[in-house]
Amino acid sequence: MIEEWMADARCAEIGGDLFFPEIGGSTDAKKICTTCEVRAQCLQYALDNGETWGTWGGLNARELRKLRLAAGAAA
């Protein structure tokens, strides 16, 4: 599903391949996310939609998993 905020994302300017790297290759994508004005929306989208691959809102797949686990434990 395409959200309005996605057009403003830095990854839309660069291309998505960088944001779906091999395991351990998310460093460059995460650096780009730090300057993205829609980073919070991106992270929320990933959490709401159960994204399990790629870099979303500055977090890689492992970090997203940890965040979900922590949120589940806090609920």
Give pLDDT tens digits for 24-50: 899 999 999 999 999 999 999 999 999
Domain encompassing residue 69 = 4-74
Q: Is 44 exposed, middle or buried (0-12, 13-18, 19+ CB in 10 A)?
A: middle
Q: What percent of the chain stands above pLDDT 90?
A: 79
What pLDDT score was predicted for residue 71?
Answer: 85
**What is the number of domains present in the chain?**
1
